Amino acid sequence: MRSCFVIALVWCVLFLGCSVEAQLKVGFYKKSCPQVEQIVAKVIAQKMPSNPELAARLIRLFFHDCFVRGCDASLLIDSTASNGAEKDAPPNLTVAGYEVIDEIKAAVEAACPGIVSCADIVALASRDSVSFPFNKPLWEVQTGRRDGTISLASEARTNIPAPFFTYSRLVSSFANKSLSVQDLVVLSGAHTIGIAHCNGFSTRLFNFTGQNNVNDFDPSLDLTYLRSLQQICQNLANNVTSVPMDPTTSTTFDSHYYSNLKLHKGLFTSDAALLTDSRASNLVDKLVDEGNFLDAFKNSIKRMGAIEVLTGTAGEIRKNCRVINS
């Protein structure tokens, strides 16, 4: 019986790239490319001073990649004449940071050709960009991911949680990726940095119930915050204007997201939804403390980074993150 189990496990690892967190480890490239983390950190350090939004862009890129086919860098693949890739699906049209990943990949390939996956570069770059202002890594990154060879726009549309999701839909979406309610609340805290386009939340500001009433807005929003957003966005169709997701410290990775949420200043429907459930709301209360948030975030981002990973001989190590190897 035991030998059958071992054979089955080996077959699973070698041929299916089974999604088990244990197959990833800190220092996976210690012998094959020992300088990889230094290379990633160096490029990020060069980019951050002139690009304060980079951390938000890269953490979003990481999240959107992991929720579709797992953390396999399939989001980086360009569309072709015969295939619409993930990056061209509506949820990903405002994702950014690809050019930074390209630059890191080129530097890593120069040092260690054919060794480091694009998927691991995304995971490391996300960590380093968020950590940059702290002058130390905020969490350890397990590596050993391999790159996927399939990227479908249709899968992005059905797998990435939308900003208009209710609490029950959010819980279901995260559960489908083996993430808990705590992970949902903690990872939502990444909204403490970055910007959002008006069309991602404008239904809360205008024509909320579909009655075409001038005062038809989401009553759960703080009224002063609501009025300021209405003044900025102007109308329901505005898909150009953007606003900070955290109205107080939009370029600082802190716990203000939760403080703002308790004041009913969460930007998205999906943010406000966290207050509609007692367990989630209790977590929000705890995460207002910055130490609690940072401790919890390093654990939840580790779990997210292990979603459906390809390891062993599954997938490939892409030479160019935008193109599947020929």
Tell me: is residue 246 an annotated ligand-binding position.
yes
Among 296, 304, 294, smallest CA distance to 133 is for 294
Neighbouring CB atoms inside 10 A of 245's CB total 22
In the numeric block, the tokens 């694009």 are attached to: 118
Tell me: is residue 70 an annotated ligand-binding position.
yes
Q: Are the beta carbons of 269 and 163 closer than 8 angstroms?
A: yes
Q: Are the beta carbons of 271 and 284 closer than 8 angstroms?
A: no
Using CA atoms, how far apart are residues 79 and 151, in angstroms rounded to an integer?
8
Tell me: is residue 94 an annotated ligand-binding position.
no
Tell me: is residue 72 an annotated ligand-binding position.
yes
**Angstrom distances, CA of residue 200 to CA of 13, 91, 164:** 40, 10, 8
| Pair of tokens at residue 40 | 């990633």
Residue 33 CA, distance from chain mean position: 26
Tell me: is residue 192 an annotated ligand-binding position.
yes
Tell me: is residue 285 an annotated ligand-binding position.
no
Neighbouring CB atoms inside 10 A of 188's CB total 26
Using CA atoms, how far apart are residues 212 and 206, in angstroms rounded to an integer?
8
Q: Are the beta carbons of 191 and 252 closer than 8 angstroms?
A: no
End-to-end CA distance of the chain: 41
Using CA atoms, how far apart are residues 260 and 254, in angstroms rounded to an integer?
11
Using CA atoms, how far apart are residues 222 and 279, in angstroms rounded to an integer?
22
Residues annotated as part of the active site: 64
Beta strand extents in the chain (DSSP E only): 195-197, 242-244
| Pair of tokens at residue 198 | 């008006």
Q: Which residues are annotated as a binding site for Ca(2+)?
A: 65, 68, 70, 72, 74, 86, 192, 246, 249, 254
Q: Which residues are annotated as a binding site for heme b?
A: 191
Q: Which residues are annotated as a binding site for substrate?
A: 161
Q: Which residues are annotated as a binding site?
A: 65, 68, 70, 72, 74, 86, 161, 191-192, 246, 249, 254
